[in-house]
Amino acid sequence: MVKHIFVTGGVVSSLGKGLTSAAIGLILERRGLTVSLQKLDPYINVDPGTMSPFQHGEVYVTDDGAETDLDLGHYERYTHAKLTQSSNFTTGKIYSTVIAKERRGDYLGRTVQVIPHITDAIKEAIHEGAAEGADVAITEIGGTVGDIESLPFLEAVRQFALERPKGDVLFLHVTLLPYLRASGELKTKPTQQSVGKLREIGIQPDILVCRTEQPMTQEMAQKISMFCNVRPEAVVEERDVAYSIYEVPVDLCRLGLDKLVVAHLGFESDTETDLDDWSLMLAELKSVEKTCEIAVVGKYIQLHDAYKSIYESLAHAGYANRCKVKLRKISAEDVLVKGTEILAGVDGVLVPGGFGERGIEGKIQAIRWAREQDLPFFGICLGMQCAVIEYARHELGLEGAHTLEHSPHSPHPVISLMADQREIDQKGGTMRLGAYDCELDPGTRIHELYGCTRISERHRHRFEFNNDYRDQFAASTMVLSGRNPGRDLVEIIEIPEHPFFIGVQFHPEFKSRPLNPHPIFKGFVGAALAHANGNNPAPVCETVL
């Protein structure tokens, strides 16, 4: 029978609960256990798909087309857990199912209430999220303990634990020890109060993970233990990492969290957690000397979380190329205002996905500059669409070429609405979402990068390359090198005579892993590094992974 870990958060949001949950998942896998991971989000949107990245950060997409919280990206990067539509539930999604049942008459005669109907639906969602065959299901509860919105979730997990044999459920609370610089001390009171809130609801945490920027002393752990009713050895420090988020699982194991968790759940605790490759990666990351600089030209560059998976994928590709990838985050609008000079000195340009008109022309200018300067370019989703528009306007002479998304009366809609999107009037969950196959043309750059001719990648878009312009592109130096076999949609464009110019309609960033970087990111960073070395004639670094 699957055992459960519930991860809650206290004091403030953005504590890194998602990372901690993912790190625990990795640790358990490295002890031979199978894990599944799930996030419960207390907000009322049915999913984050309709939210602005400024509100929510990136929307992470699963193979089966769920638009989910970005923490699921951490789960997939750290573990082998297979994430699905059941891996992320929000208050909105839970209420939708309960209200649909009520309308159907499933509760005839009864008053539908938060307890038991909503809490029952949450418990069902937890069962659904625990993948078949998993030894441990980790469920992270979004928000902060004390929020009104998270109460039904906490009540549901309290009931859930009561219905399970003792020892089958572990409550882990991630909390903050704020550091007061003026007095030079860490404070435990907020942690005491947030654990107090949890205990009021009826949840006694078994383990406390204390986020801190300064070391937590033994004395402090004792104090927290006494006030929070948690054994002293189960008060574990999680200090800010120095250079990589991939340090977290190694740090937590060093402090014995692995043994605490498995002992609590009744698994073998005498063996060591095998994190050798992970530790080697960290040691090597520390020692890299070479650097290349990539400009990410986007609309939401002020917020690191908005392009989380892209930044992570670049870091993975940096590791694969044994170099550090320096990011130059550039607002697409600034390219228009300040000119392409703001890109001077970078070794590659990446234009990510996006929605809305703001910044489009800046992206197009940045792409033109990269194309004309022979600078490595990588366009993702909207980034690929912009590359098609740029090429149509400046190489094919199609004046006014545009996407129908922003220019419904364009004389040359080289990017148009997909046929099956035309009748859709609901915004939520209606894009082309999830994994689709793509066939690659043999002998192309993309084929060389993947090393095969059939791939599967995840999508999230409504618009596509307009096949009416196919012949004009086919007669040019731009190659349409990948297509969806069923619907003949163009998924990849490239310019073979350019050092590296690739645009993809899908989101490869969702499939890159630290020890298994995505081939396009790896090739792109490799090309950027070659560019960096060309400017500074050092030997070209070999790609080692």
Interaction of residue 495 with ligand GLN, rule CB under 6 A: no
SS3 assignment, position 139: strand
From candidates 22, 35, 210, 381, binder to ligand GLN by CB under 6 A: 381
**Residue 318 vs 359, nearer CB to ligand GLN:** 359
Cα dist from 89 to 40, 68, 164, 335, 421, whole Å: 5, 9, 21, 39, 26
- Binding flag, residue 462, ligand GLN (CB under 6 A): yes
Query: How many residues bind ligand GLN, per CB under 6 A?
Result: 10
Least distance to ligand GLN, CB of residue 435, Å: 15
Q: Which of 248, 187, 250, 174 is nearest to 216 (CA)?
A: 187
* Nearer CB in complex with ligand GLN: 142/352: 352
Instruction: Identify the residue among 37, 382, 388, 532 touching ligand GLN (CB under 6 A).
Output: 382
Question: Pick from 472, 499, 441, 460: which is nearest to 380 by CA?
Answer: 460
Binding of ligand GLN at residue 353 (CB under 6 A)? yes
Out of 292, 381, 386, 541, pick the active-site residue.
Answer: 381
- Under rule CB under 6 A, residue 461 binds ligand GLN: yes
Q: Is 367 one of the binding residues for ligand GLN (CB under 6 A)?
A: no
- E strand or H helix at 462, and its extent? none
Q: Write out the two tokens for 426.
A: 């609901």
- Select which of 173, 402, 459, 507 is catalytic: 507
Q: How far is the CB of 456 from ligand GLN (least distance, A)?
A: 17
CA 396-401-406 angle, to 5 degrees, is 155
Q: Which is nearer to ligand GLN, 258 or 405 (CB)?
A: 405
Question: DSSP letters of 467-533?
Answer: GGGHHHHHTSS-EEEEE-TTT--EEEEE-TTSSSEEEESS-GGGG-BTTB--HHHHHHHHHHHHHHH
Q: Is 538 helix (H, G, I), strand (E, B) or coil?
A: coil
Residue 210 designated active-site:
no
164: tokens are 């399970």
The yes-or-no answer on residue 316 being catalytic is no
Which position has the token pair 């634990």?
161
**Of 83-91, 231-239, 242-250, 347-355, which segment contacts ligand GLN by CB under 6 A?**
347-355
- The residue (of 203 and 370) whose beta carbon lies closer to ligand GLN is 370
Residues 60, 246, 278, 463: which binds ligand GLN (CB under 6 A)? 463
Binding to ligand GLN by residue 421, rule CB under 6 A? no
Determine, following the binding rule CB under 6 A, whether residue 406 of this chain makes contact with ligand GLN: no
d(CA 208, CA 233): 10
Measured CA to CA, the distance from residue 154 to residue 119 in angstroms comes to: 9
- Annotated catalytic residues are 381, 507, 509
Q: Which residues bind ligand GLN (CB under 6 A)?
A: 353-355, 381-382, 405, 460-463
